[in-house]
Chain A
Amino acid sequence: MLNLTIDGIPVQVPEGTTLLEAARQCGIWIPTLCHHESLTPYGGCRLCVVEVRERKVTHIVASCTAGARNGLEVVTCSDTLLSIRKGIVSLLLAEVPQSPVLQELGAAFGVTGDTRYTPRNDSCIACGRCIRACREIVGVSAIDFAYRGYKKVPAPPFFERSESCIGCGTCVAVCPTGAITMHDIQAGIYSRAPDGSIIEGPARIIDNWKVSFPLKTCSRCGEPFVPQAVLDHCAIYAKLPADFFELCRECRQ
Chain B
Amino acid sequence: MSDATTRYLAAWKEKGITTLFPNTIKIMVGTASCGLASGAASIAQAFKANIAQNNFDAMVTTTGCAGMCFQEPLVDITIPRKGRFVYGRVTPEVVPQMIAALQHGNVPDGALLRYTRHECLINGFVKRYLTIGATKKERDVPIAHAFPFYRRQLRIVTRNCGFIDPENIAEYIAQGGYSALATVLDKKSPQQIIRMVEQSGLRGRGGAGFPTGLKWRLCRERTSKHKYIVCNADEGDPGAYMDRTILESDPHAVIEGMLIAAYAIGATEGYIYIRDEYPRAIACVEKALQQAREAHLLGKHILGSSFSCTLTIVRGAGAFVCGEETALLKSIEGDCGEPNQRPPYPIEVGLWGNPTVINNVETLATIPIIISKGPRWFSSIGTKTNTGTKVFSLVGKVQNIGLVEVPMGTPLRDIVYAIGGGTSNGRSCKAVQTGGPSGGCIPERLFNLPVEYDALAHCGSIMGSGGLIVMDDKTCMVDVACYFMSFLEHESCGKCVPCRIGIRRMREVLESICAGTATVEDLEKLETLAHLVAQASLCGLGRTAPNSVLSGLRYFRDEYMAHVHDKTCPAGVCKNLITYRIAESACTGCGVCKKICPSGAITGPRKKPPQIDIATCIKCGACLDVCPAGAIITI
Contact = CB atoms under 8 A, between A and B. Distances in A.
B110 interface: no
B415 to A, nearest CB: 32
B209 to A, nearest CB: 15
Interface in B493-523: 493-498, 500-502, 504-505, 508
Given A60-B535, A62-B538, A149-B490, A92 B341 contact: no
Interface in A46-81: 46, 49, 60-62, 65-67, 69, 80
B270 to A, nearest CB: 27
A92 to B, nearest CB: 6
B348 to A, nearest CB: 10
B537 A149 contact: no
B493 A149 contact: yes
A148 interface: yes
Interface string A141-154: 00011011111100
Contacts of B492: 148-150
A178 interface: no
Interface stretch (A83-91, A186-194, A242-250): A83-91
Contacts of B489: 149-150
Given A62-B538, A150-B489, A150-B501, A67 B344 contact: yes
A117 interface: yes
B266 to A, nearest CB: 24
Contact of B496 (A45, A117, A144): A45
Contact of A65 (B336, B340, B537): B340
Give the secondary structure class of A's interface: mixed
A45 B537 CA distance: 9
B343 interface: yes
Given A87-B529, A149-B490, A152-B500, A43 B536 contact: no
Nearest to A88: B497
Contacts, number: 95
Contact of A91 (B319, B490, B501): B501
B536 A84 contact: yes
A84 B543 CA distance: 13
B520 to A, nearest CB: 15
Most chain A CB neighbours (cut-off 10 Å) among B336, B341, B525: B341
B493 to A, nearest CB: 5
A44 B498 CA distance: 9
Contacts of A80: 535
A150 B344 contact: no
B502 A91 contact: yes
Contact of A62 (B319, B336, B341): B341
A45 B494 CA distance: 10
Nearest to B337: A148
Q: B497, B528, B532 — which one has the most chain A CB atoms within 10 A of its CB?
A: B497
Contacts of B343: 66-67, 69
Interface string B166-186: 000000000000000000000
Contacts of B500: 126, 149-150, 152
B491 interface: yes
A70 to B, nearest CB: 13
A26 B319 CA distance: 41
Given A49-B536, A61-B341, A151 B494 contact: yes
Contacts of B321: 148
Given A60-B535, A149-B491, A150-B489, A44 B497 contact: yes
A151 B493 CA distance: 10
B508 A148 contact: no
B538 A43 contact: yes
B252 to A, nearest CB: 35
Contacts of B528: 87
B490 A46 contact: no
B340 A150 contact: no
A94 B497 CA distance: 12
B49 to A, nearest CB: 47
A33 to B, nearest CB: 8
A46 B497 contact: yes
Nearest to B495: A44
B494 A148 contact: yes
Which of B508, B525, B528, B532 has the most A CB atoms < 10 Å from its CB? Answer: B532
B491 A84 contact: no
B537 A66 contact: no
A44 B492 CA distance: 13
B498 A148 contact: no
Contacts of B504: 149-150
A95 B498 CA distance: 12
Contacts of B495: 42-44, 126, 128, 152
A199 interface: no
B505 A91 contact: yes
B347 to A, nearest CB: 15
Contact of B536 (A46, A95, A149): A46
A84 B532 contact: yes
Given A117-B508, A150-B492, A45 B497 contact: yes
A125 interface: yes
A151 B504 CA distance: 11
Most chain A beta-carbon neighbours within 10 Å: one of B321, B493, B495, B525: B495
Contacts of A95: 501
Contacts of A62: 341, 538
Contacts of A114: 505, 525
A46 B538 contact: yes
B562 to A, nearest CB: 22
A126 B508 contact: no
Nearest to A117: B505
A91 B498 contact: yes
Contacts of B525: 114
Contacts of B344: 67
B496 A87 contact: no
Contacts of A65: 340-341
B493 A43 contact: no
A248 B497 CA distance: 41
- Residue among B319, B336, B505, B536 with the most chain A CB within 10 A? B536
Given A44-B538, A88-B532, A149 B494 contact: yes
A43 B493 CA distance: 13
A70 B319 CA distance: 36
A60 B539 CA distance: 11
Nearest to A59: B343
Contacts of A147: 494
A85 to B, nearest CB: 9
A91 B493 contact: no
Contact of A150 (B336, B494, B538): B494
A238 B343 CA distance: 38
B319 A148 contact: yes
Nearest to B493: A148
A43 B489 CA distance: 19
Nearest to B507: A150
A206 B406 CA distance: 61
Given A66-B341, A117-B505, A145-B336, A87 B494 contact: no
Contacts of A66: 341, 343
Contact of A60 (B501, B529, B536): B536
Contacts of A44: 495-497, 538
A20 to B, nearest CB: 12
Nearest to A147: B494
Contacts of A43: 340-341, 495-496, 538
Given A60-B536, A126-B495, 9 more contacts: A43-B496, A46-B536, A46-B537, A46-B538, A62-B341, A91-B497, A114-B525, A148-B319, A151-B494
15 contacts: A43-B341, A43-B495, A44-B497, A87-B532, A88-B497, A88-B498, A91-B498, A91-B501, A114-B505, A114-B525, A128-B495, A148-B491, A149-B491, A149-B493, A152-B495
Closest 7 CB pairs of A and B: A152-B494, A87-B532, A149-B492, A65-B341, A149-B494, A84-B536, A91-B501
